[in-house]
Structure 1
Amino acid sequence: RLAALRQHMNQQGWQACLVPSSDPHLSEYLPERWQTREWLSGFTGSSGTLIVADSQAAVFTDSRYWAQAEAELAGSGIALFKLEGAAVSAHVAWLKALNVMTPQAQLAVDGAVLALAMTQSLSNALAAENWTLVTSHDPVDAIWPNRPAAPLVPVYEHKLPHASTPRADKLAALRQALISKGATHHWIATLDDLAWVLNLRGADVDYNPVFVGHALISLDSATLFVAPGKLSADIQARLAADGVQCQPYEQALPALRALPLHARLLIDPKRITWGLREAVPAGVAVIESINPTTLAKSRKTDAEAAFVREAMERDGAAMCAFYAWFESALGREHVSELTVDERLTAERTKQPGFVSLSFPTIAGFNANGALPHYRATPDSFAVLSTPQGLAAQGLLLIDSGAQYLGGTTDITRVWAIGTPTKAQQRDFTLVLKGTLALSRARYPRGTLSPMLDSIARGPLWAEGIDFGHGTGHGVGYFLNVHEGPQSISKAVPEANMAMHPGMITSIEPGLYRPKQWGIRIENLVINVPVAPSVTNTAPGDPEHGEYLAFETLSLCPIDTRCIDLSLLRTDEVEWLNGYHAQVLKRLRPLVSGAALAWLEKRTQPI
C-alpha cells in the first residue's frame, strides 16, 4: 500500500503525503471509509497522523498510544514519532529533515478531511520552509481498491421524554445566536452538533450515536444533507413541520457554493474542514466563531441532568451485577481480559434504555493497565483466573461506559486481584487523592477548564509523579463520550473553555508504571451552582460572584483494599465514606441477591 501511494505521489509530483485520522466531519471515531491512516499504516489508535515521503514514513502520536504504535508499526518501515508538543511543528521539523532538494516541495493532504484551523496553521508553517500544501485531491482514493462506501444505517429520532427540548426550540435558539453574531447562515459539519440540534440519532460511527450528514441553517430555513434512504418518510415529515428540508448528502458542497453573495456565514474553524471552506463563494462574508450548538449542548438542562442521574444508576446496577460475578469467579473459572469485556457488556445490555457501549472497553491487568488506551484482542490478552486458582496477582484496570437514551457513561475503576502490595497501595492512594481533590473543588463560574487541571495533579506532583493524558473531557447527552468545549487538561486555555452550570466532565487522573501496573480512577461530574453562604465568607458570597462545584454522577464503589490509609486525611476519608453511602443508597433498590451483597460489602465505611 505504501509502495502504491509512493508511485501515485511520484506521478503527481508530490514530495510527501500527510494522512490525518479524520473524516469530512472531523469525527474522533471514523466510519470505515475514512479509516485511511489505519489502512495505510496498520496503526489502529484513534489519534495520530501518518506522513509518507519517498523513502521514509512516520506516524505521529501522543503518549497514550506509544506502546501500541510501536507494536503495530513493527516491521512496516514506518517510524514512530512520539509527540510531546504541537503536532504542526513536529510535522514541519520532520519534513525539513528530509532535505528535499526541490525548490518548492509539495505536501499533499485531502483538504476534505483536514480541519480549517489545522490547514491554516500547517500552511503558514510550511511556507517558511519552502513547502506548499496541496489540498485539492484525496491522495489515497486512487490506490484503495474496493474502498468501503459511506454508511447507510437508518437515522432515528431521539424522542420524549429523554429529548426534552423540542427541535424547533433548539433551532430558534440557534438563530438568535446567529443574529447576535451578525450572521445570516450557519454550516454544521460535526456530527454530534448535527444530531443534537435536530434531535436525531444514528449508528454510522462506532460508539457514538450519530449519523453522517451536514446542515445549512439560515434565519428562515434549514436544510439537512443526508444520504437517501437514511430518513423514513415519517421523520422527513416531522422535520418538514419544523422547517427542515432534506437533500442528498452529495448536494452539500453545491449548496455551499450557491450561497447568496449577501450572506454572512458563521463557521467554526475547529469544526469545519478546509474543503468546505474552499467551497464558500468569494463574495460571502465569513464569521469565524465556535458553533453555537457546541456551547448549548455542553450545558445540560435540568431535565437532561435528571435523566443522566437515572442512567448512572442503571449503569451502576450493571456494574454491581458484573463485579459480584467477577469476584466469585476468581480462582474458580477461566477469567481473562476478554471475559471482563464480554460479561460487563452483557450486564449493561440488560438495563433499560441501553443502546450501545460508549467506547471500546479497556480491561488491562498489571502491565497492560499501564497502557492508557490498551485493548485486549483474541490474539493478545492476559488471563486473570483459571479453575485451578488465580493465574496471577496484581491490579486490574477497567475503563468502560455505555450509551443510554438518557445519558452517556464513562467510568474507570482499579481492582485488587489477590493482595495488593504496599507500592501498589501507595500509587492507588495518590491517584485517589487527585480524584478527590478535584471532585471537591469550588471555582468561580467562567473559570477556564484547563486551570483546574493542576488540582488533580497536585498530590502526584508532590511526589514527583505525573501522567501524560488530560485530567478530564466533556461528555455528551446520549452523544459523543468526548465532547467540548471544556477540557481539564494542559491545553492552552481559550475563552470558550469556560465552566458553566450543566456541563458534564470526567475527572480521571492516573499513574502508570511501565511493564508493572496502571491506575486511573475516573468519575463523571456535573457543574452545579454553590448555594450562597450564610456567613458571607465561603464561596457563594455574592460580592465575589457565582461559584460552581462538582456533583459526582458516577455510581460504583472504589476498592478500599487498595488504599493506604496513612496517606489519607480525615476529610478525604469522610468524602469517600459519604460517596459510598450515596452509592449504596441509590443502587440498593436496583440490585438483589449476589449483586446487593457485593454492593453492601464494597461500600462499607473505612
Structure 2
Amino acid sequence: MVQDRLTKLRYCMKEKGIDFYMIPTSDFHGSEYVDDYFKVREYFSGFTGSNGTLVVGHDMAGLWTDGRYFIQAENELAGSGIELFRMMEEGVPDIPDFLKENIKNGQTLGFDGRTVSCKEGKELERKLKGMNIRISYEEDVAGNLWQERPFLPAHEVIVLPEEISGQSMEEKLLTVREKMKTSGAAYLMLSKLDDLMWLMNIRGNDVACNPVALSYGFLTPEELYLFIQPQEITAKFTEYASKNHIVIEDYENTERFLGGYDYEGKVLLDEGNINYTLYKILSDKAECVFESNPTEALKAVKNKIELSRMEEIYLKDSAAVIKFICWLKKNAGKEKITELTAAEYLDGLRREIPGFLDLSFPTISAYKENAAMMHYEALPESAKEIKAEGMLLVDSGGQYMGGTTDVTRTVVLGEISPEIKKHFTKVTIGMLQLTQARFLYGCTGRNLDILARQPLWDIGIDYKCGTGHGIGYILNVHEGPQSIRWRFAKGAAEAIIEEGMVISNEPGVYIEGSHGIRTENVIVAKKGEKNADGQFMCFDTLTFVPIDRDAIDTEFMQPIDVERLNSYHAEVYKRMKKYLTEEEEAWLKEATRPMEI
C-alpha cells in the first residue's frame, strides 16, 4: 500500500516538475501531536511515530527520525522501500546536507510551506544557495492525493476564569507588548498554539491530548487579531473577545489578511515557531525581527495559582498511578491482562479524577522487550499478554482543569535478571541525584543533565533522548524553552532554569530485544539559599509514586543513594496514604519501607 501511494506521489511530482518532495510530521503550527487531518507523512510512509520527515525522490525515499523511534521505525518501514536515516548518529546526514548532495543544479524541491518552519525553510535556502534550486512551497501536493483525508478538526473554545489561570489576559498583553517594544517590534505573529492559548486564557480541543484550538494570533499595538474557524466561537467567547480588544477573523483568511495588511513597523517572528509560508508573506511586506516568542518564556514560569493547582492535581494523579501499580502487582498472572487493557485500566482511574479533561498523551504500556522502544504503542492485534514475570513500563499522564501531568514507572512482575536490576538501580540513582540538585542561578539544563546520566555513563550506557522537558499548565505535556539534555546543538535555544519552571526528570535504559526502564518524576524549580556566591536554586517534587524496590540492588548504591530513596519513599507514604483504600495503603506502606545497604 505504501509503495502504491509513493508511486502516485512520484507521478504527481513529475507532472509538477518537482524532483524531491519533503513531508514533515507537522500541522500548520509545528505542534508535536497532530490531528489525523495532518498525518500525511504517516499516510505515505506507514511510520506512526510522532516525529519524522519523509523525503521522496523519483528513485529514492528516506525517513529521518530520532533515537526514540529507531526500533519502531525499522519495524514499520520494513518492505516499504523507504530507507531509515537515524538522526544524530555518526555518518548520518541531516536533510539539508542530504539534499545538497543529491539534488542537481536547476532542480526543484517541494513541500507544503505551512508544515515547514521558517527556520527549516531558511536552512534549506542556505544549503542550496548557488545551485539554482527552485523551492515550491505553495501547494499541499501530497495531501491533495489523500482521497479519504479526514476533515480539519474544529471544537468550541472555552475561556479559563482567572481563579484557574492566575493572571488576566489584560495583564499578559501588557507584559508581552513591553517585550515587543524592547525588541523594536510593533507587531507579533503568533502561530504556536500553546503560546496563543496561554496569552488569551482560552483552551480548545483540536489537537489530540493538547487542549488547544487551531488558530493564529496577530498582535498589534492596540488589537489582537485571532484567526480561528467560525464554528469554534461561542457566545461566551464573543463577549470575552469584545472586552479584550480581540478581533475575530476566519482561519482560512490568515494568509490573505497578512498579505493585505498595512504595516507601520517591524514584525516579531519566532523562526522555529512560524511556518515558512507565513514567513514569506510577512517578510515580503515588512521588516522582521527574529526572536523567540516572548510568550514562551513567560508561559514557562508558572504563577502561584498555577503551581498551587498543579501540586494538588499531581497528588490526585499520583494516587491513580499507585492504585494502578497495586492492582497490577496483585493481578498479573492471575487474570488476563495485556499491555492494552493495563493502559485502559490506568486511563479509567484518571477519568474518575474531578476536573479530568483528557490524557496528556496516549498511555505507553510496554511489556518486556517492547519497553526498549521509547514511544511504543500497544495495538489490539499485537498487544502482549502480561504475566507474572519481567517488567511493564508505563508512561502516562492526564489533562485536568488544574494541570498537566506526566509520570513513568517500570513495574516488576516477576523474576528479573541481575543485569536488569543493575540498570534499574542506576536509573534510580540518576533520577534522585537530579532531584536533589543544588545549583547556581544561571544554569541551563545542559549543566544539570550529567547528574541523571552519569550513573549510566559510568557503565557505558546512554539513552537516546533528553533527560527532561518542560510541562505545560492545562497545555502541552512537552513545553519549552526549558529542557535538560547534554548534547550541544548549534542554533538550538537554551533556557536558564527559572523559579517556577516545571520540568520532567526521566533517565532510562533501552536495550533492544531485552528490556526498557524509565523512572520519571516531575519537579519544579525554586530559589534556595542566597549568599556571597550568588543565588542557589533547587527542585521540589510534584510526583509521589513509589519506585519498585523489587528491582533495586543496593550493591550498586552508596549510603547517600539509599538515604535519598528512603527519604523519597517516606514522603510518598506520608502524602499519599489518605487517597487510598485500607488495602492500598497497606500495600503502599510495604512498597515504601526503608531499604538498608
TM-score, with length taken from structure 1 = 0.94
Q: Which of 32, 56, 62 is the aligned partner of 1:58?
A: 62
Which amino acid letter does the alignment assign opposite residue 61 of structure 1? T
* Structure 1 residue aligned with 2:448: 452
How far is the alpha carbon of 1:160 from its aligned partner?
Answer: 4.1
2:203 corresponds to 1:185: no
Q: After TM superposition, list the pairs within 5 Å mapping 1:154-173 onto structure 2.
A: 154-173=156-175
Q: Secondary structure of the equivalent of 2:138?
A: coil
Q: Tell whether the 8 Å contact from 1:320 to 1:556 is kept in structure 2 after alignment.
A: yes
**CA distance change for structure 1 residues 444 and 520 in 2, over 3 Å: closer, same or farther?**
same
Give the distance between the partners of 2:150 and 2:336, measured in 1 at CA: 38
* Alignment-mate amino acid for residue 17 of structure 2: G
Provide, for residues 41-80 of structure 1, a one-character-per-residue CA deviation record: whole Å limited to 9, x for no partner. Answer: 1111000000111121111111211111111111212121
Does the 8 Å contact 2:86/2:92 carry over to 1? no
* Map of 1:380 onto structure 2: 382
Matches within 5 A, 1:34-45: 34-45=38-49
2:465 equivalent to 1:469: yes
Aligned counterpart in structure 2 of residue 338 of structure 1, from 324, 340, 345: 340
Cα 1:435–1:591 shift into 2, 3 Å = same
- Provide the residue aligned with 2:520 in structure 1: 522
Q: Aligned partners of 2:173 and 2:90: how far apart in 1?
A: 36
Does residue 1:269 correspond to 2:271, yes or no?
Answer: yes
> Deviation at 1:155?
1.0
Cα distance in 2 for residues equivalent to 1:159 and 1:483? 22
Cα deviation code 1:436-481 (max 9, x no counterpart): 1111111222212222222211111111111111111111011000
Asked if 1:20 corresponds to 2:15, the answer is: no
Q: Secondary structure at the match of 1:497?
A: coil
- The offset of 1:128, in angstroms, is 5.6
Which of these residues, 543, 567, 578, is aligned with residue 589 of structure 1?
578
Aligned with residue 246 of structure 1, among 245, 248, 265: 248
Separation of aligned partners in 2, 1:297 and 1:103: 45
1:97 shift after superposition: 5.5
Contact 2:300 2:472 in 1 (8 A): yes
State how far apart, in whole Å, the 2-side matches of 1:459 and 1:311 are. 31
Deviation per residue, 1:514-546 (Å, 9 max, x gap): 11111111111110101x3xxxxxxx32x2221
Report the CA distance between 1:88 and its aligned residue. 10
CA distance in 1, matches of 2:406, 2:448: 20
CA distance in 2, matches of 1:525, 1:308: 11
Match of 2:397 in 1: 401
Aligned residues: 589
Give every structure 1 segment of 4 or more consecutive aligned residues whose post-TM-superposition deviation is greater than 6 Å: none
Contact persistence 1:51–1:58 (CA under 8 A): yes
**1:414-433 matched pairs, under 5 angstroms:** 414-433=410-429
- Residue 582 of structure 1 aligns with an amino acid whose one-letter code is E
The answer on whether the counterparts of 2:470 and 2:481 sit within 8 Å (CA) in structure 1 is yes
- TM-score normalised by structure 2 residue count: 0.95
CA contact (8 A) 2:85 2:92 kept: no
**Which has the higher mean CA deviation after the structures are superposed, 572-581 or 401-410?**
572-581
Q: Which of the numbers 437, 442, 452 marks the counterpart of 1:441?
A: 437
- Does structure 2 conserve the Cα–Cα contact (< 8 Å) formed by 1:88 and 1:121? no
What amino acid is aligned across from residue 587 of structure 1 in structure 2? M
Q: Identity over aligned residues, as a percent?
A: 36
Residue 535 of structure 2 corresponds to residue 546 of structure 1 = yes
When residues 254 and 381 of structure 1 are mapped into structure 2, their CA distance, relative to the original with a 3 A threshold, is same
> Which secondary structure state, in structure 2, belongs to the residue aligned with residue 145 of structure 1?
coil
User: Which secondary structure does the structure 2 equivalent of 1:216 belong to?
Assistant: strand
Q: Find the aligned partners of 2:100 and 2:264 in 1 and give their Cα distance.
A: 43
Q: Secondary structure at the match of 2:324?
A: helix
What SS class does the counterpart of residue 229 from structure 1 fall into? helix
Q: 2:591 aligns with which of 596, 599, 602?
A: 602
Structure 1 residue identity aligned to 2:591? R
For the Cα contact (< 8 Å) 2:373–2:510, is it kept in 1? yes
How far apart are the structure 1 equivalents of 2:95 and 2:132? 14
1:107-159: per-residue Cα shift (whole Å, max 9, x none)? 11111111011111122112366644322222213322132221111111222
Query: Could you say which residue in structure 1 is the equivalent of 2:322?
Result: 320
Cα distance in 2 for residues equivalent to 1:86 and 1:128: 27
Match for residue 565 of structure 1?
Answer: 554
- Note if contact 2:481-2:493 (Cα within 8 Å) is conserved in structure 1: no
CA distance in 2, matches of 1:22, 1:331: 41
Aligned to 2:259: 257
Partner of 1:279: 281
Q: Give how far 1:195 is off.
A: 0.8
Question: Which piece of structure 1 moves more, 496-505 or 121-130?
Answer: 121-130
Q: What is the Cα deviation at residue 103 of structure 1? A: 3.3
3-state DSSP of counterpart to 1:137:
coil
Residues 491 and 206 of structure 1: is their aligned pair in 2 closer, same or farther, counting only changes over 3 Å? farther
Q: Secondary structure at the match of 1:415?
A: strand
Cα shift at 1:595: 2.3
Find 1:10's aligned residue among 7, 10, 14. 14
Amino acid of the residue matched to residue 553 of structure 1?
L
How far off its partner does 1:261 sit?
3.3
Q: Secondary structure at the match of 1:546?
A: strand
| 1:338–1:381 CA contact under 8 A, matched in 2 | yes
For structure 2, the residue ranges without an aligned partner over 5 or more in a row are none
Counterpart selection for 2:34 from 30, 37, 58: 30
Match among 102, 110, 113 for residue 111 of structure 1: 113
Following the alignment from structure 2 to structure 1, what is the Cα–Cα distance between the partners of residues 43 and 517?
32
In 1, Cα distance between equivalents of 2:16 and 2:149: 21
CA contact (8 A) 2:369 2:516 kept: yes
3-state SS, counterpart of residue 492 of structure 1 = coil
Aligned residue type for 1:498: I
SS at match of 2:416: coil
Alpha-carbon distance in structure 1 between the residues aligned to 2:273 and 2:154 = 23
**Separation in structure 2 between the aligned mates of residue 279 and residue 488 of structure 1, nearest angstrom:** 35
Shift of 1:597: 2.2
